[in-house]
Amino acid sequence: MRDVYVAGIGITTFTRLEYPLSEIAAYASMMALKDAGVTEVDQLYVANMGAPRVNHQTALASAVADTLSLLPAGAAAIENGPASGAAAIKAGFQAVASGLDDVVLVAGVERMREVNNLEATDFIATLTHPLTEYIYGVTLPAHAAMFTRLYMEKYGVTERHLAMVGVKNQNAALNNEWAHLQQEISMEGILDSPEAMTNNPYVAEPLRFFDACPVSDGGAAIILVSKEKAEELGRPMIKLSGIGQATDTHAVFEREEPTDLLAVRKAAEDAFAMAGLTPDDVDVAELHDAFTILEIVESEEVGFFPKGEGHLALEKGETALGGKIPINVGGGLKGRGHPVGATGVAQAWEIVTQLRGDGGKRQVEGARIGLTLNFGGFGNNVVCLTFVRED
């Protein structure tokens, strides 16, 4: 198996984008192609979750290939729920590692704001079990709320911990020009003042408005190449060193212990094993904080902190910029936004930015090893990636 490197990255502003879906993907891809210094690719993978349903478009990869004039490159779309982005990166890795291709473009894109919030929420809810969850009206905020309540009772997480994640990540987005939310929030304003319940109402108790990521449009792209090609291109040598992917029961109620995210644990273990790393080696991480509780729990399941102690580390500032393991320094899904198909690629974009030392105000000093965790379903399909700067 050949080593695989990230030679180029690109992203669009995450916000409301009134452009054709293929064009949004193309903008991010053009940026990545230019960054890598390549004009041709062997293959492109386009990660997306909702185009057929939300945007009434199928065969998205063919459209992106043509929009970018990358013909006759191979092209395929990857739909894997909110983990589509990292799943597409895995497909790109396999293509290069196997020797089938030398240069692969992986783009993630979503345009969710084409529909209203109710339709967007329903579209995301279609990833739940159709017979035991969806037909009873379960949405992702509802899932996350029940999960949070259990976690609170079992491990002592409080609404204050959730708000701390929200404030940390949304304010971190102020240092990321591409992030959706550019509005500072404070603990006083969303939790402690008499007006907090109006400013930050419950959307699914115990989760409040600022515990959830925004609905965003956006695209992100990376260029994966072989080692020989990476050396030829002369960009910083960022190796995609580890990949782990795991699944869990589709219906959450079937899990023996619902507060354990076993797919997260397994995906991280496999990625670390492949890369020859441990959680202690990681300098910077991107975790899938679609809801604030998820950052806390994922920080435990990937091995940064013992089970049930993620919130204690948060209290000590260990997950903030300058802490033991900075998490979501570019805002995460909470601040950057969560165009679902693009998120896994955007996480890789952030980590590569960090490992190149291009993070500006949000740069983690001396970062050389990074991790992304892309969480699909309610933890039933998870992809973990590790990246290492070699030069």
Partner 1 sequence: MSVDLEKILRPVESPMAPYEPKYMMLASGEPVVVRQVFRDEIPDLLKHVEPLIHVERDYYDVVAARVYAELIGYYTHRFQDQYVLALQVDGELAAIVNGRQVTPKLGLSLHTLALRRGLRIGAHGFAAKMEYHIDALGHDEVLIVAESPIGFRRWMIEYKLEKRFDIPHELGGVPSWALTRELFDRARASLVVGRRPVPPELLEKAMEKILPPSDPPTPPLDPLAATRALYDPTATALVAQRWEMEKGAQDA
CB of 386 to partner 1, least distance (A): 27
The answer to whether 369 and 386 are in contact (CB under 8 A) is yes
Pairing of strands 43-47, 103-111: parallel
Give me the phi and psi of 311, to 5 degrees please.
Answer: -70, -30
CB of 287 to partner 1, least distance (A): 23
Element (H, E) at 93: helix 84-97
Catalogue the E-assigned strands of the chain: 4-11, 43-47, 74-78, 103-111, 202-204, 207-208, 217-226, 238-247, 284-286, 369-376, 381-389
Count CB-CB contacts under 10 A for residue 383.
28
Q: How far separated are the first and last CA of the chain, in Å rounded?
A: 21
The CA-atom distances, in angstroms, between 175 and each of 197, 209, 289, 296, 328 are 27, 22, 18, 22, 11
The answer to whether 378 and 121 are in contact (CB under 8 A) is no
CB of 31 to partner 1, least distance (A): 5
Q: Between residues 199 and 247, which has the closer beta carbon with respect to partner 1?
A: 199
The answer to whether 284 and 367 are in contact (CB under 8 A) is yes
Q: Between residues 163 and 246, which has the closer beta carbon with respect to partner 1?
A: 163
Q: Between residues 91 and 215, which has the closer beta carbon with respect to partner 1?
A: 215
Coil, strand, or helix at residue 313?
helix
Q: Between residues 80 and 170, which has the closer beta carbon with respect to partner 1?
A: 170
CB of 157 to partner 1, least distance (A): 21
CB of 278 to partner 1, least distance (A): 36
CB of 190 to partner 1, least distance (A): 5
DSSP letter assigned to residue 339 = -
CB of 94 to partner 1, least distance (A): 27
Q: Between residues 201 and 322, which has the closer beta carbon with respect to partner 1?
A: 201
CB of 214 to partner 1, least distance (A): 11
Asked if omega into 206 is within 30° of 0 (cis), the reply is: yes
Give me the phi and psi of 4, to 5 degrees please.
Answer: -125, 135
Q: Between residues 125 and 187, which has the closer beta carbon with respect to partner 1?
A: 187
Pairing of strands 103-111, 381-389: unpaired
CB of 184 to partner 1, least distance (A): 5
Q: Between residues 32 and 60, which has the closer beta carbon with respect to partner 1?
A: 32
Instruction: Single out the residue of 325, 356, 351 nearest to residue 336, CA to CA.
Output: 351
Q: Between residues 175 and 247, which has the closer beta carbon with respect to partner 1?
A: 175
Q: Between residues 33 and 333, which has the closer beta carbon with respect to partner 1?
A: 33
- Residues that bind partner 1 in the complex, under the rule CB under 8 A: 10-13, 15-17, 19, 24, 27-28, 30-31, 33-35, 177-178, 183-190, 193-201, 210
CB of 83 to partner 1, least distance (A): 24
Alpha carbons 247 and 268: distance in angstroms, whole number:
12
The CA-atom distances, in angstroms, between 377 and each of 79, 110, 232, 352 are 12, 16, 39, 25
Alpha carbons 145 and 204: distance in angstroms, whole number:
6
Give me the phi and psi of 384, to 5 degrees please.
Answer: -120, 135
Q: Between residues 5 and 27, which has the closer beta carbon with respect to partner 1?
A: 27
